[in-house]
Amino acid sequence: MNKVLAGLCGGAVLFGALAWLWAATPSGEVADMRGRDTITIVLTEKGFTPRDFTVSRGTAVVFTTTRGNQFWPASNEHPSHDLYSEFDPKHPIDADASWSFVFDRSGEWGFHDHIRSYFTGRVYVE
């Protein structure tokens, strides 16, 4: 009887651990773009591409768009942009223009398009 109970418990715990691991695993991909002086992030119809990315401190990130609309990349939170207040061009960028920002603060910085705040992304600065 003890062996039966041990077997039942062991099986349940093993499955629980596997289920937990599955649920806990982050689903999004983070593009590794470290080691480059300059990278480009493009706002497409599907959002920022890549959406989540890692860069080295001091990297210049150039934001452009293929949507044909103005855009305004800026730090969270919307609409105050106060988590990383320098990460804000303070005005819309024309559809055929770009905006460059040098990330010189380490950390994890959520950002969005201020004009269409449903387009979001996250930059990890190391």
Partner 1 sequence: MSNKLVITGILGIALAAPALYLYAPVVSANVKLHACADLREDGEQIECIFRVIESEMERGGVDPAMRVFSKAYDDFHSFASTGCHRYAHRVGDLVYYHQYLGSDGIESIEFPQSTTACGYGFYHGFLEHLIQDNPYPDFVTKTCVYLTGRLQSDMSDIAIICYHGSGHGFELAESERVPRSKWGNLHAFVDGPLARCGEMSEATAREIEECRQGVFNVIVDWMAEKQYGFTYNAARPFAPCDALPTAYVYACYYEMAQKLDSVSGLDPVVIARIAESAPTTALADVAFRVGVAGIIQQTIADGKGYEASLARCATLQRLFFEGCIASMISGLFEHGPPQREYEKPFELCAESVVADAGMSKECYTAIAFRLKRFYEPARVNDLCKKIPEDFRGPCEE
Among positions 86-115, residues that touch partner 1 (CB under 8 A) are: 91-92, 108, 110, 115
**Positions 45 through 64 that interact with partner 1 (CB under 8 A):** 47
Q: Which stretch binds partner 1 (CB under 8 A): 6-14, 36-44, 57-65, 97-105?
A: 6-14
Beta strands in the chain (DSSP E): 31-32, 38-44, 47-49, 52-55, 59-65, 73-75, 99-103, 107-113, 120-125
In degrees rounded to 5, what are phi and psi of residue 71?
A: -150, 165
126 forms part of the interface with partner 1 (CB under 8 A): no
Choice from 42, 60, 83, 102 touching partner 1 (CB under 8 A)? 83
Question: Is residue 23 involved in binding partner 1 (CB under 8 A)?
Answer: yes
The C-alpha atoms of residue 87 and residue 97 are separated, in whole angstroms, by 17
